[in-house]
Amino acid sequence: MRLLLITYFFSIVAVSFAQEKDSLYKKGLEALSIQDFNAAQSYFSQNIEEASSFEGYYNLGYAFAKQKMWTQSLWANEAALKYDPTNSKAIYNAKFSSNQISPDAVWSHPYSWAKRIVLSIGETTWFILMLVSSIIVAISTYFLLSQKNGSSKKLMSKRLVIPFSILLVISVFCFNEVLIHYEQNRYAYSVDEKTELFLSPEGLEVEGSLSKNERLSVIQDQKEWIQIVTSDLRTYWIKKESLLIY
């Protein structure tokens, strides 16, 4: 009885959480429909804090753009590409936002074509490929060791074991890459060009400035601090609250 009550309690919590997340998203859409872009920004910001998604970031980017908050719009659309790297609308919006900040700048996709292909295939497909190839490799190895020379099963196993071993290695690598991709923050933008820059967390502040249109690469993420590297290979520590991260 106690186990049933505990299970019931956690199911209620899970359903409530999902309803709250969906409620924030729906409120954001309603705010967009009446052109209350500041309210939409607030709802979508809360929504992505609860559960990050392409839809949340994409609509947040739209709300920022309608308020001419171009750096924030650029960040939100690139963050949306983290979850759907080939989405043409998010790509267009990111280019447009970048152009509004610096008309002469040439926007580039944050992820290589190879990475986009790996992410587009998705973790579920990579997991299935990994599972199937591991089973075939195991069966093929068994027949190679147990069957007599010249048998049809051994000949077939020889043909299968190498290509499926390669597929297994590739699928394991790509599956791990997809998992790491969603768990780690890789890029950031500075909203304020006067962002305080430090040599180390709580360390010496140094002179310098960051462009609003510059995509910063994240090296380390430590509680309230982020270590970044600029396009010209300058390395700084910055307070997390001063950055837009994805």
| Dist. CA 93–CA 111, nearest whole Å | 16
> Which helix (H) or strand (E) is 118 found in, with range?
helix 113-121
Which tokens is 122 given?
A: 């998705």
Residues of the chain short of pLDDT 50, as ranges, are 1-19
CB atoms within 10 A of CB 72: 22
Do the Cβ atoms of 226 and 218 come closer than 8 Å? yes
| Dist. CA 17–CA 12, nearest whole Å | 8
Do the Cβ atoms of 243 and 224 come closer than 8 Å? no
Query: How confident is the model over 141-175, as pLDDT tens digits?
Result: 998 888 777 788 888 988 999 999 999 999 999 99
Closest CA to 175 of 137, 134, 133, 128: 128
> Which helix (H) or strand (E) is 16 found in, with range?
helix 2-33
Closest CA to 97 of 119, 79, 72, 117: 72
Q: What is the pLDDT of residue 207?
A: 87
Q: What is the pLDDT of residue 10?
A: 37
